[in-house]
């Protein structure tokens, strides 16, 4: 029995040693062949070796660190799936529970930014500096380039503020949170700074609620659209006095704060049958709008499709999975059909007549000879007249022409059984 | 011998357990019973958003687009038009409920006030919340009436449920749970438990009778739901949610377990388009304000 245990342990250790030793000389190359044998055929690779920065396995001539010289289930004879192979050595590149992660990192598309062999840029980057980032973030790149008022850290490099892989504790891949990130450079205790901010202790506020960190057409890199009280530095129109123990506390809750100036809009809203309930909820108008400044019109918190999609994600997803795309939804122009505050019509539609609403873009009288209108009853339901929505769903379906059935026959037999 | 006996006993136990689980998981089914389209003068409903019943079996319809309430009487199980209730104080009814005395309460969508009528349809007054804690602004999105005639008002402005006595005096306040998104509706069951429905996260919260706070009854059910916006309970403790955007009804157990989904979106009888208020009576019948089909639909429940 004892002999068996000793023998078993010995066998285990031998196997362990063999497994550990095997990768070091997995392919039993001839002496001196390592790092040279591949180059015999891949002669153009020599140019890559002349670049300033080489990937460590390349430098060591260890081509088989990533490639299998004989066979592989992956392209370029890679040893593993291209989206996973880098992680074998660079496992810790992104914290496992990061607050924000760069999409390409999650998708394992490391070669979008890095050359796996060599580069003339540090960290084997395929392009240098911001040019690399703006290759994907084109809109941002254009905005940064043409901004009249530039933010110097952006000019110097995106990596001044952002971590390219992931941020463990902060959103937007930020290296640290706002305002600490800003106060590294901007001294908030200077009298001029305090005066500029109306004596409010903004050192603890969120700078990016007014300032566009990527630069702007407006002085002080304010966002393109600024709320009038902010522009005129009348912060105390909404907030308590700067000397108050709670200077940032707003004077009234919810929509009531906005009613002071926007009474006409609020009164009109409350005069309608159907209210957008978000407007009277815990965040009031701020459910959709930002109170200080925004790059979006009407001080929206973001692009309309994102603002509306924050609550109505199912509607947005339905459009995304739809075979045919309804242009206003794709463009995020929800207010082409819906009144965002209130309406007398269900679903906050802008027009009580569905046919007239659709007809404002589609000219429905021309595209079909099917009888439609108030006087034509829906055969499925005597309380309904025929409208565009009798056959189509405006946010899309998985079927052609945004019809709610797989085939047009399935649709037509709903009413025309004979 | 001993071994095979054990195996047989274990097998029987497993089979019995599986049978029990299978019976327990049997879905409660909704069967279409009838659809109601118009009043006694054949005036068709226009976007009805509310429906409720009283203890005498009257059905009340909040015929929102026509700015009125319509009462029906159930005769041999069939809804027969009874009377129309109209008042300047109620221009766009969106929710309707009755108390044990047959008094009618309706929420006006335009004025954002709850209006009270006598059983005969005479205007009594508006529900007053002046003696409730601040803020003075109260925006009711929905309400329900308990078996004890207490009124539970969903105040979305201050994120709270105001509980008023049958006499209309302030009794208690329970704030919405931490982390809620958009609370669309509430329901009170026969035991006095209060349920809240968060449409954005598709989560049901509960405040058990006597409790001062809400806690989640379910996890987020967003994976299987789109925009559940209405909630009600039946005499057996089942919870029903109507999904406005998907046109169907989900059934949740008292313990928060998901017990199935019923009905589909469509125009035909038994199908729904943008369902609004639900009501479940003691006979196990479910009433649905089928808004975009301009009708009220009645379903019987069974396995």
Q: Identify residues of B whose CB sits under 8 angstroms from chain A CBs.
A: 37-38, 44-45, 47, 64, 91-92, 109-110, 112, 135, 137, 139, 141, 156-159, 176, 181-182, 184, 199-200, 226-227, 245-246, 265-268, 274, 291-295
CA dist., res. B250 & res. A162, Å (int): 45
Instruction: Give B79's pLDDT tier (boundaries 50, 70, 90).
Output: confident
B35-63 mean pLDDT: 94
CA distance B8 to chain A (A): 38
Instruction: Identify which of A256, A281, A404 has the shortest CB distance to residue B182.
Output: A281
Ordered structural domains, chain B, with CATH: 33-302 (2.120.10.30)
Within 8 A of A346 by CB-CB distance, chain B residues are 47, 274, 291-292
Task: With a cut of 60, say whether residue B20 has pLDDT above it.
Answer: no
Tell me the per-residue pLDDT of B95-148, one tens digit each, with 9 for 90 and over: 999 999 999 999 999 999 999 999 999 999 999 999 999 999 999 999 999 999
pLDDT for B21 equals: 45
pLDDT for A34 equals: 75
* Residue B107, strand partner residues: B95, B114
Q: Name the residue in chain A with its Cα closest to that of B295.
A: A383
CA dist., res. B275 & res. B272, Å (int): 6
Mean residue pLDDT of chain B comes to 92
Within 8 A of B181 by CB-CB distance, chain A residues are 311
* Spans of chain A below 50 pLDDT: 18-22
pLDDT for B15 equals: 58
How far CA B66 is from CA of B90, B278, B294, in Å, comes to 11, 19, 11
Share of chain B above pLDDT 90, in %: 83
Share of chain A above pLDDT 70, in %: 93
Within 8 A of B246 by CB-CB distance, chain A residues are 314
Share of chain B above pLDDT 70, in %: 91
Q: Determine, for residues A253 and B139 on separate chains, whether the beta-carbon distance falls below 8 Å.
A: no
Task: With a cut of 50, say whether residue B23 has pLDDT above it.
Answer: no
Helix (H) or strand (E) holding B36: strand B29-36
Instruction: Identify which of A270, A314, A390 has the shortest CB distance to residue B245.
Output: A314
Q: Name the residue in chain A with its Cα closest to that of B93.
A: A273
Within 8 A of A381 by CB-CB distance, chain B residues are 267-268, 293-295
pLDDT for A159 equals: 94
Instruction: Identify which of A256, A347, A384 has the shortest CB distance to residue B267.
Output: A384
Tell me the per-residue pLDDT of A281-324, one tens digit each, with 9 for 90 and over: 999 999 999 999 999 999 999 999 999 999 999 999 888 889 98
Tell me the per-residue pLDDT of A191-217, one tens digit each, with 9 for 90 and over: 999 999 999 999 989 999 999 999 999
**What ipTM describes this predicted complex?**
0.88
> Residue A30 carries which DSSP code?
P
Q: What is the pTM of this model?
A: 0.83
Q: Which residue has the tokens 């005069």?
A: A271
Q: Determine, for residues B267 and A272 on separate chains, whether the beta-carbon distance falls below 8 Å.
A: no
pLDDT for A38 equals: 87
Task: With a cut of 70, say whether residue B18 has pLDDT above it.
Answer: no
CB-based burial of residue A41 (10 Å sphere; 0-12 exposed, 13-18 middle, 19+ buried)? exposed
Substitution target in B245, B246, B271 with the highest count of A β-carbons within 10 Å is B245
Neighbours of A24 (CB within 10 A): 6
pLDDT for B55 equals: 85
pLDDT for B13 equals: 60
pLDDT for B191 equals: 95
């Amino acid at each position: 029995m004892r002999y068996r245990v000793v023998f078993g342990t010995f066998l285990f250790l031998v196997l362990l040693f063999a497994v550990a030793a095997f990768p070091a000389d997995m392919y039993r190359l001839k002496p001196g062949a390592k790092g040279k044998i591949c180059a015999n055929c891949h002669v153009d690779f020599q140019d890559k070796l002349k670049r300033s920065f080489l990937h460590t396995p390349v430098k060591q001539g260890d081509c088989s660190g990533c490639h299998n010289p004989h066979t592989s289930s992956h392209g370029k004879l890679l040893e593993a799936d291209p989206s996973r192979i880098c992680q074998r050595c660079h496992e810790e590149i992104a914290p496992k529970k990061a607050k924000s992660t760069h999409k390409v990192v999650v998708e394992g598309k490391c070669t979008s930014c890095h050359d796996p062999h060599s580069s003339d840029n540090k960290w084997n980057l395929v392009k240098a500096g911001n040019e690399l980032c703006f290759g994907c973030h084109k809109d941002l790149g254009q905005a940064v380039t043409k901004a009249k008022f530039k933010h110097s850290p952006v000019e110097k490099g995106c990596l001044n503020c952002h971590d390219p892989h992931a941020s463990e504790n902060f959103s937007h891949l930020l290296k640290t949170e706002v305002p600490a990130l800003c106060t590294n450079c901007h001294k908030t205790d200077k009298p001029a700074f305090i005066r500029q901010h109306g004596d409010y202790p903004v050192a603890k506020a969120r700078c990016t609620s007014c300032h566009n960190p990527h630069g702007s057409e407006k002085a002080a890199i304010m966002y393109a659209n600024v709320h009038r009280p902010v522009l005129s530095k009348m912060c105390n129109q909404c907030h308590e006095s700067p000397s108050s123990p709670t200077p940032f506390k707003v004077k009234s809750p919810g929509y009531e704060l906005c009613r002071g100036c926007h009474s006409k809009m609020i009164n009109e809203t409350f005069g309608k049958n159907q209210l957008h309930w978000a407007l009277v909820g815990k965040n009031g108008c701020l459910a959709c709008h930002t109170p200080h400044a925004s790059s979006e019109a009407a001080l929206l918190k973001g692009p309309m499709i994102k603002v509306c999609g924050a609550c109505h994600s199912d509607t947005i997803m339905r459009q995304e999975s739809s075979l045919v795309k309804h242009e206003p939804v794709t463009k995020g122009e929800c207010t082409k059909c819906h009144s965002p505050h209130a309406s007398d019509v269900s679903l906050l539609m802008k027009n009580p007549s569905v046919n007239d609403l659709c007809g404002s873009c589609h000219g429905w009288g021309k595209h079909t000879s099917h009888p439609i209108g108030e006087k034509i009853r829906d055969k499925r339901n005597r309380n309904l007249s025929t409208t565009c929505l009798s056959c189509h769903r405006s946010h899309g379906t998985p079927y052609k022409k945004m019809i709610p059935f797989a085939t047009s026959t399935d649709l037509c037999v709903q009413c025309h059984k004979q | 011998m001993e071994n095979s006996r054990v195996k047989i006993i274990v097998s029987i136990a497993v089979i019995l357990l599986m049978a029990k689980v299978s019976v327990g998981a049997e879905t409660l089914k909704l069967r279409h019973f009838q659809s109601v389209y118009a009043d006694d003068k054949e005036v068709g409903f226009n976007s009805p958003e509310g429906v409720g019943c009283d203890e005498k079996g009257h059905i009340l319809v909040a015929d929102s687009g026509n700015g009125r309430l319509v009462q029906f009487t159930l005769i041999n199980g069939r809804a027969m038009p009874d009377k129309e209730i109209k008042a300047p104080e109620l221009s766009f009814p969106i929710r309707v409920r009755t108390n044990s005395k047959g008094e009618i309460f309706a929420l006006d969508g335009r004025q954002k006030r709850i209006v009270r009528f006598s059983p005969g349809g005479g205007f009594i007054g508006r529900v007053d919340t002046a003696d409730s804690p601040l803020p003075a602004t109260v925006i009711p999105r929905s309400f329900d009436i308990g078996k004890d005639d207490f009124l539970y008002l969903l105040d979305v402005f201050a994120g709270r449920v105001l509980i008023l006595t049958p006499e209309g005096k302030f009794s208690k306040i329970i704030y919405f749970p931490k982390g809620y998104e958009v609370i669309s509706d509430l329901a009170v069951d026969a035991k006095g438990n209060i349920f809240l429905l968060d449409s954005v996260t598709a989560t049901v919260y509960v405040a058990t009778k006597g409790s001062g706070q809400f806690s989640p009854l379910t996890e987020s059910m967003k994976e299987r739901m789109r925009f559940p916006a209405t909630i009600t309970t039946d005499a057996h403790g089942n919870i029903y949610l109507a999904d406005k955007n998907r046109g169907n009804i989900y059934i949740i157990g008292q313990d928060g377990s998901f017990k199935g989904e019923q009905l589909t979106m469509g125009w035909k009888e038994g199908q729904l388009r943008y369902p609004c208020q639900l009501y479940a009576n003691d006979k196990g019948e479910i009433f649905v304000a089928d808004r975009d089909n301009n009708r009220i639909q009645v379903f019987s429940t069974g396995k």
